[in-house]
Every structure is written in C-alpha cells, then in structure tokens.
Amino acid sequence: MPRIDPIPKLKQEAAAKIVALLDEWSWQNAAALIGTDQPRVSDLRRGKLDRFSLETLIRFLTRLRQRVELQVTAERIRPAARTRSP
C-alpha cells in the first residue's frame, strides 16, 4: 500500500483555519497581524498553498493566538504475506 504524504492535508487544514480567523479583517490588517504582506494573504485566501510551507502556516496560527499540537498515532501494520519455499 503506497504511503500518502500528510503535508498537503495538514497545510489545507491550517490554511482553512487561518482564512476563517482572518475573515473579518481587511487584507492590509490581516497581513500586518500575521506578519506578511497583502499578496501573501491573497495567495492564502485563494488556496495557493504551494507558496507556503507548513512551518509558515503554523507560525501564522501562533500569531493568531492559536495553539498548534502535533498528534502521532500508530497505524496498524499488517504483516507481509509469507511465501512458501518449494
């Protein structure tokens, strides 16, 4: 089973929260609040997440006084099928 990269989903979740928190703010004030410029706020609101690292999005969340936690849980791993020797 191929592994799925978790980063895009985490970035989407972080960005959605940021956009929701900045919803009532003007572009200029939102940019000042999270420590970036207006074009980056525009990129964020349009979902252009390839222009942001997960680390940057986490920094934006902390500047918005959000607590970010990383939770790691074990995935159940099935043993590989054994092949019999002839």
- Residue 77 forms part of a structural domain: no
- Residue 11 forms part of a structural domain: no
The mean of the pLDDT values for the chain is 90
- Residue 3 forms part of a structural domain: no
CA-wise closest residue to 56 among 36, 70, 32: 36
Query: What mean pLDDT comes out for the span 67-82?
Result: 82
pLDDT of residue 61: 98
Distance between CA atoms of 39 and 28, rounded to whole angstroms? 10
pLDDT of residue 60: 98
Label residue 74 by pLDDT band (50, 70, 90). Answer: confident
| Phi, psi angles (nearest 5°) of residue 51 | -90, 5
Contacts of 77 (CB under 8 A, 6+ apart): none
**Number of folded domains that form the chain:** 1
- Residue 34 forms part of a structural domain: yes
**pLDDT tens, position by position, 18-54:** 999 999 999 999 999 999 999 999 999 999 999 999 9
CA 50 to chain centre: 11
**Domain coverage including residue 55:** 27-64
